[in-house]
Structure 1
Amino acid sequence: MAIFELEPMKHHVLICNGGTCMRHEGEEVTQAIRDEIRKQNAEAYIHTTRTRCNGRCHDAAVVIVYPQGDWYGQMTPDSGTQLVQKLVTGEKLEPHLFHECTGQSSSE
């Protein structure tokens, strides 16, 4: 298992590899994101993890970015590439963003 330095990491990208997301290009989205991270020379500060189902199958393929807590849906390989480009410039991929964690419950 690779060991990487946590200090420079700015983004942890969780890529759903559950069954429905995999049927909606989840593997291709995973590879596109990882390829663009390498292309942008961003391996030190953007880390990816494949996850099991995140329970948002109707939004497949799903990608979650922390520490922002941004949930992206209907991701494709092209939008995966765009997401990395946006992370590098400090922006969000608005067309695919369907939830932002604010740290407050909906009852507050």
Structure 2
Amino acid sequence: MNLDGVSKHLLICNGKTCMKNGAEEVTETIRGELKNSGLHREIHTTKTLCNGQCKHGPIAVLYPQGTWYKEMNKTKSEELILQLKEERNNNLGSELYCHDGKTFKNHESEL
């Protein structure tokens, strides 16, 4: 696999609990929206197994930003890709963890 030109990596949990909660639709939506928007050459996706946040699933993790998104669904997936295309802040109101440059911070505790 050639990652030349890739600037972001989206990890999409497809573990057992996330799958029960709609992870396949999230994966298909994200990949479809990336292709339709022309971002599939800039943003690579990987289906993962359990990311350890089952009660918040489906989970998507965006790197290099280090943002973990919880309770993803079709609508949130479409909005995330739109925000990435428009180079907006990527704030879905669904953030679980954010990276501050040093460590991960639980976004919920900051609310």
- TM-score w.r.t. the length of structure 2 is 0.86
Asked if 1:55 is matched to 2:52, the reply is yes
Contact 1:17 1:53 in 2 (8 A): yes
Between the two proteins, the alignment pairs up a number of residues equal to 103
For residues 90 and 63 of structure 1, the distance between their equivalents in structure 2, rounded to whole angstroms, comes to 18
Alignment match, 1:83: 80
Determine what percentage of the aligned residue pairs are the same residue: 35
Residue pair 1:82, 1:93 contacting (<8 A) in 2 also? no
Secondary structure of the residue that 2:93 maps to in structure 1?
helix
- Counterpart of 2:96 in structure 1 is 98
Alpha-carbon RMSD: 1.4
Amino acid at match of 2:57: A
Instruction: Give the match for residue 69 of structure 2.
Output: 72
Q: What is the aligned counterpart of 1:18 among 9, 15, 19?
A: 15
Does structure 1 conserve the Cα–Cα contact (< 8 Å) formed by 2:80 and 2:92?
A: no
Q: 1 or 2 for the larger relative contact order (CA 8 Å, sep ≥6)?
A: 1
Contact 2:29 2:78 in 1 (8 A): yes
Segments of structure 1 that go 5 or more residues without pairing to the other structure are none
Amino acid at match of 1:11: K
Q: Which runs of 5+ in 2 are unaligned?
A: 105-111
Structure 2 counterpart of 1:9: 6
